[in-house]
Structure 1
Amino acid sequence: MAPVLTVRGISKSFVGNLVLRDASLELRPGQVLGLVGENGAGKSTLMKILAGVHQADEGTVEIGGETVSFSHPVQAQQAGLSTVFQEFNLLPERSIAENIWLGREPRRRGFVDTGAMVRDTDELLTGLGITGLRATRRVRSLSVAEQQVVEIAKAVSFDARIIQMDEPTAALADHEVELLYTIIRRLTARGVAIIYVSHRLKEVFDLCDTITVLKDGVQVATTPAAELDEAGLVRLMVGRSMSAFFPDPLEGTTPGDVRLELRGAGNGYVDGVDLAVRGGEIVGLAGLQGSGRTELLEAVFGVTPLTRGELAIDGAVVAVRTPKQAIRRGLALVTEDRKTTGLALHQSILDNSLAVVRAVFPSRTGEARAGVPASLSTLAVSARSLSQEAQFLSGGNQQKVVLARWLAARPGVVLMDEPTRGIDVGAKHAIYEVMRSLAAEGVAVLMVSSELPEVIGMADRIVVMRDGRVAGELPAGSSEEDVLTMATGASTGTQVAS
């Protein structure tokens, strides 16, 4: 059977950074190809190139034996390649039928033929084995699983020969996953080919005929699923050597009393979390995208407050309902997106450095202002002057200013979400040194990172999350394979601390 999709030598760079190199794959009608890899491996980039969101720098794509090049997702859909992204793209106030046929509504005598649209939608849903959804229901009334069905039905409505699915079960409960399995099996029985991206290895082995592994933008393997097991797949996904630039703990750094403790903590995003971080300790919070790492930090910091369980700071049980309350309790949160939530880009370095103190501890503003130059010097911030706007700094210097604004508030617990994302090696090392200095001063540091070498290189302990819960704990020096095995739920027989 001839391939329906052939990809040869696809490469892509962003601002000089090569994120995908020489990727190739082949997909036949009715085949499910699993596309797997760690965060940042290049999966999303490849999917977006195929979907017409990005254009490749090199390489070719063929659909049905014809070379194609897409500059817009609509062109990919018209060629028979549809993508179901992890983030839904539905209009909540419109019906299922209106969402599926948006912009392509059947018409009669110049008017939208609502009856035909409803009938066509019902036929689509019936063909997918869905009998409990009415085409006229508004999307806002649907469950997450039902919205996922609508997205798939919309993809099928383009007469898709190829459907890409990006983490389709990330927001689904276990009992809802079987519905997706049923839909995929119906599609493949009709000859639709599927590219399936998931961090859940069980699903990859349940559904996929072939597995392609990407690592650091490079395709490391394409193998029949039957020739792999979970342990072998995990080994293919990891294997990077440990970087040499992680500083050791400063002399005299010893864990002290527990400064941050969670007992059975949960809200709408995380559940049953037990966790303790001592002063002088850096705890790494590992897990795959969607595992609940960021959500846990935001819960502790009062962005999305805990609704059950207990949060204790320095031994005292406290209720943190807002970020301002968190700051008053001695918490700091270095957010994942410094440009959106970390900095006021059009304000000066000085104003950014003083923002937290001015908002929460105004009486300490003078003292904090006097300490800003020394703080920025310690952080090795490179800037013309304190009046320079943050938007004109490099990414690494922006991240250092984010740290400076929190250090000015003298926190006892620092929550760090991807603290070195998108910055160069020198800036990373400077931030690692700040983290070691904080620990030496008795601060408790809880760090989220998608970079496993970073977690292993910096953490005194590693707490691994999966599906909004703590999956287990690993000691310092654990391997990438151990972390990823626990993060994915793979069964390898590896003994880990819990």
Structure 2
Amino acid sequence: MTNLSHATRDGTHQGLIVRDVSKRFGPTRALDRIDLDIRPGEVVALLGENGAGKSTLANIIAGTFGSDTGHMTWQGRPYEPKSPGEAITHGIGLIHQEMRLLPDLPVAENVFLGRLLTRGGRVDRAEMNRRAREQLRRLGLDISPTRLAGSLRVAEQQQVEIAKALTLDAKLLILDEPTAALGGEETDHLFERIDALRREGVSFIYVSHRLEEIARICDRVVVMRDGQRVATHATAQVPVGQLVEEMVGRSVERIFPGTGVPEEREVLRVAGLSGAAFRDVSFGVRAGEVFGVAGIVGAGRTELVRAIAGVDPVTEGTVAVDGTVLRLRGPRDAIEAGVALVPEDRKGQGAVLDLTIADNVVLPSLGRVARRGWLTPRRVGEVAAGAIRTMTVKGRATQPVRTLSGGNQQKVVIAKWLELGPKVIILDEPTRGIDVGARAAIYEVIAGLARSGMAVVVVSSDLDEVLGLSHRVLVLSRGRQQGILPAGEATNSTVMRLATA
């Protein structure tokens, strides 16, 4: 429960107090007279759609930039950090949703980046390794602290970011989508650490689009919309439907669209496939079928689909499309056979952020888009305009992808592969870090692909998402295939029973 022992008689407290804070970026009003209280030892959920102002408020608190109006106090004193480093010295840290690890440095050096431990004037790598390993194990991750960060999977990188926060000795941590890439077991480990820290008086601002988690870990809820605080709840036991309606300003139910009935024709056949993180996996996907892949983090889901797409090497087994066995020497072989992969890390692997929507859309299909060997701006614009209409992307063809919301970035990544006319499309974590309104649009895209006759494979840490979209679900556990369940038999309990076998 919330720790209110630090409150004073006049209603103030020794935590964070934000009053009348506003912020504009040019003509855009990002925040409008925001008030916020975070008391010692409590976890406050900060909810809102993309663009609601959550990140702007978090960055002001964390010292990334200042506000235009208003003031803050922290631990009873005026607080106006000029940089993230200054905020950290005051005991306030922000862990971003997007990973900011340096891929060519070891895990331990990433955890202690900017504050390397020293002994006798020299970097104490042994102590950094020990402390990094300890924090990672508390989160349920057993990896070597000397391993390069760039070799980790997205979920492991997310846990390293969280471990980095836990070593700050901070008194207030802002967690932005901390479980976006985590499965149920990893999320439980994180919540255990949060519970332990708040008993020590550490406070948390918890930003998440996974509304089902809010009641499990948070004490109070603050809802933002269009830069304003629109609701505050003294408890986290608020119906999800009510929170969604407050966030988007209208009633939005999490209803998965109809995906139609698959054809009998099998498009994709995986037989006895083995790789570095999985063994002897076999399944088929029919035209018009959404085939889900479930399992906890570390089960080998991402490694499996990367192997099917020719990204990672196959040690045994075969992949066939329309009855033809593929010789997978790299992604090009899979692409030419009609297999497209939308990766889990859309910003790092799926899109070139500084290029425009148009350039991203035509990037994999330059040969098809060009006419008589010439690629003209007009032709690129025509193709991009068609993709924007089809995928309902909110943006202009000439707009850099970096400026789009997460949901629209994901639509662009999907659109660029659809330009190739694939027979099989694989979507790995298709809604990671995407708000509730945008998720519905992505679900409709996936359902539309299936209804058009495409074979669709969906990998997701959100089990409800897998169950709601899929005709059948393959369950992996520690790299082993545990079963394939038809929609009528695939439930949370049956899938988790197999996933933890």
Same fold (TM over 0.5): yes
For residues 255-270 of structure 1, the aligned pairs below 5 Å read 261=268
Q: How does 1:186-197 map to 2 (within 5 A)?
A: 186-197=196-207
Q: Provide the secondary structure at the position in 2 that maps to 1:472.
A: helix
State the secondary structure of the residue aligned to 1:454.
Answer: helix
User: What is the distance in 2 between the residues matched to 1:236 and 1:320?
Assistant: 49
* 2:477 is aligned with 1:466: no
Q: How does 1:384-423 map to 2 (within 5 A)?
A: 396-397=397-398, 418-420=410-412
Query: 1:210 maps to what in 2?
Result: 220
The answer on 1:4 being equivalent to 2:15 is yes
Taking a change above 3 Å as real, the CA distance of residues 316 and 24 of structure 1, as seen in their structure-2 partners, is: farther
Distance in 1, matches of 2:189 and 2:353, equals 43
Rounded Cα–Cα distance in structure 2 between residues aligned with 1:213 and 1:396: 32
Which string of whole-angstrom CA distances, capped at 9 and with x for unpartnered residues, describes residues 176-224 of structure 1? 4444333323322222212123344454322211122334554332213
Structure 2 counterparts to residues 316-331 of structure 1, below 5 A: 316=324, 318=326, 320-331=328-339
- Does the C-alpha gap of structure 1 residues 316 and 381 become closer, same or farther in structure 2, counting only changes over 3 Å? same
Residues 43-192 of structure 1 correspond to what in structure 2 (within 5 A)?
43-86=54-97, 87=99, 89=101, 100=112, 102-103=114-115, 105=117, 111-112=121-122, 118=127, 138-140=145-147, 144=156, 147=160, 150-156=163-169, 160-172=170-182, 174-192=184-202
**Alpha carbons 2:342, 2:350 under 8 Å: kept:** no
Give the Cα–Cα distance (whole angstroms) in 2 for the partners of residues 329 and 125 of structure 1. 43
Find the counterpart in structure 2 of residue 411 from structure 1.
Answer: none
- Give the Cα separation in 2 of the matches to 1:95 and 1:333: 28
8 A Cα contact 1:266 1:273, kept in partner: no
Q: Percent identity?
A: 29
* Alpha-carbon separation, structure 1, partners of 2:63 and 2:208: 21
Structure 1, unpaired ranges of 5+: 243-253, 359-363, 383-393, 401-415, 422-430, 476-488, 492-498
2:233 — aligned with what?
Answer: 223
Q: Deviations over 1:48-83 (max 9, x none)?
A: 222122333444332124332223111111222123
Q: Which moved more, 1:183-192 or 1:18-27?
A: 18-27
Q: Structure 2 vs 1, CA of residues 371 and 176 (structure 1 numbering), >3 Å: closer, same or farther? A: closer
Which whole-Å CA distance do the structure 2 matches of 1:230 and 1:327 have between them? 40
For residues 456 and 180 of structure 1, the distance between their equivalents in structure 2, rounded to whole angstroms, comes to 28
Amino acid in structure 2 at the alignment position of 1:78: T
Task: Figure out how many residues of one structure are paired with residues of the other and give that number.
Answer: 408
What TM-score does the superposition give when structure 1 sets the normalisation length? 0.57
Mapped to 1, the partners of 2:266 and 2:198 lie a distance apart of 53
Residues 406-485 of structure 1 aligned to structure 2 (within 5 Å): 418-420=410-412, 450=434, 451-452=438-439, 454-455=441-442, 459-460=447-448, 466-467=460-461, 471-474=466-469
Letter in 2 for 1:328: E
Contact 2:241 2:251 in 1 (8 A): no
CA 1:266/1:112 → structure 2, altered by over 3 Å: closer, same or farther?
same
Cα distance in 2 for partners of 1:215, 1:293 equals 35
Q: Cα RMSD (Å) of the superposition?
A: 6.1
1:151 CA drift (Å): 1.6
Helix, strand or coil at the partner of 1:214 = strand
- 5+ unaligned residues in a row in structure 2: which ranges? 1-6, 8-12, 253-260, 387-394, 402-407, 471-490, 494-501
Query: Secondary structure of the equivalent of 2:332?
Result: helix
1:438 to partner: Cα distance: 9.7
CA 1:13–1:377 in structure 2 vs 1: closer, same or farther (change >3 Å)? same
Give the distance between the partners of 1:21 and 1:262, measured in 2 at CA.
54
Q: Which amino acid aligns with 2:335?
A: I
